[in-house]
Amino acid sequence: MDLKEQIIEQIPRLRRFARYLARDADHADDLVQETLIRALGALPQLDPEGNLRAWLFTILQNVLRGEWRRRRRSPVRHDIDADGVPEPSQKGGQFESATLAELAGAIRRLPPRFREVLMLCGVEGFDYEEAAAVLGVPVGTIRSRLSRARAMLKEWSSE
Amino acid sequence: MTERPIITDADLQDYIEGRLDVPARARVEARLAAEPRLAEEVERLRRQAVKLQEFGKKALEEPIPKDMLDLIEKFGRR
């Protein structure tokens, strides 16, 4: 598989991750588009033996962080709920069952720092070291945020 | 007298995340068998972990937007 195909293969994962960290699905796709543009521009710097998935997610993470910094400087938005967590619009038919929809809602209520770790480790299957590299934090921080994210989810869950 | 294996919080977390090999899993499960309340909490978290992996699988099936594919296509054609 050539590099282009390998990148294309990661797009659905990038979109899925972005959807839970962005304002809504359209905004998520804008962020992924920006990520791809940056990635294509930075290809010469990519280590061919390296971890392409982690590299792409790191770029997406940088794009997201840039967005959050800009949002903090901008005036109050009305599409953000009281907790400061945006309510994304959901494209229809995205979830197989009510319990998965409940889980999606719970994930969106998590503070962003916990949500991103849960998405990376719990959904994307990154190991702690990979997630630490993507987010630029120590492994210990990944472990504690993951643990707290799961504890919050468990508390909110009806199961 | 049977020895109680020493299980750390990190072991429990690795168990919940499904990251232990078979022998390590067996050690954790042996310890949990002796502590039903902890076992119940760990089991809830482990079930949540499995559900989370299932979650979002639908999103992976979605077709990739054309403009994303075009972007990569155009780049390759230089």
Give me the interface pTM, i.e. the ipTM: 0.87
Identify the closest residue of chain A to B67 by CA–CA distance.
A33
The CATH superfamily of A3-156 is: PhyR, sigma-like (SL) domain (1.20.140.160)
In a domain, B26, yes or no: yes
User: Which letter does DSSP use for residue A44 in this model?
Assistant: G
Higher-confidence residue: B77 or A57? A57
Q: What is the structure's pLDDT at A80?
A: 44
Q: Do B71 and A16 touch (CB under 8 A)?
A: no
CA nearest to B12 within chain A: A147
**Residue of B15, B63, B62, B11 lying closest to A95 (CA atoms):** B62
In a domain, B4, yes or no: no
- Residue A44 tokens read as 């010469």
Our CA-based measurement puts residue B46 at a distance from the nearest CA of chain A, in whole angstroms, of 10
Phi-psi region of A84 (alpha: psi -120 to 50; beta: other; left: phi over 0): left
Q: Is residue B62 less than 8 Å (CB to CB) from chain A?
A: yes
Contact across the interface for A103 and B58, Cβ inside 8 Å = no
Residue B1 lies inside a defined structural domain of this protein: no
Whether residue A19 and residue B59 make contact (CB cut-off 8 A), yes or no, is yes
**CA–CA separation, A50 and A56 (whole Å):** 11
Residue A49 has what pLDDT?
Answer: 84
Residue B68 lies in a domain: yes
What pLDDT, in 10s, does the model give residues B37-52?
Answer: 999 999 999 999 999 9
**Chain A residues closer than 8 Å to B44 by CB:** 154, 159
CB contact under 8 A, B71 and A37: yes
More confident residue, B55 or B14: B14
Q: What is the mean pLDDT of chain B?
A: 89
Mean pLDDT for B48-59 is: 86
Residue B30 is assigned to a structural domain of this protein? yes
CA angle A67, A95, A63 (to 5 degrees): 15
Q: Is B61 domain-assigned? A: yes
Give residue B75's pLDDT band: very low, low, confident or very high (50, 70, 90). confident
Q: Which residues constitute the domain of residue B21?
A: 9-76
CB-based contact (8 Å) between A4 and chain B? yes
How far is it between the farthest Cα atoms of chain B? 72
Instruction: Classify residue B34: in a domain, yes or no.
Output: yes
Classify each residue of A42-74 as buried b or exposed e, where b means 16 or more C-beta atoms within 10 Å of its C-beta: eeeeeeeeeebbbbbbbbbbebbeebeeeeeee
Average pLDDT over every residue of A123-148: 97
For the CA atoms of A120, A80, A105, A31, the dihedral, rounded to the nearest 10 degrees, stands at -30
Does the pLDDT of residue A102 top 60, yes or no? yes
In this complex, which of A4, A103, A159 lies closest to B44 when CB atoms are compared? A159
pTM value > 0.80: yes
Number of domains in chain B: 1
Residues B35, B32: Cα–Cα separation, whole Å: 5
Nearest Cα to Cα of residue A32 among B55, B45, B1, B65? B65
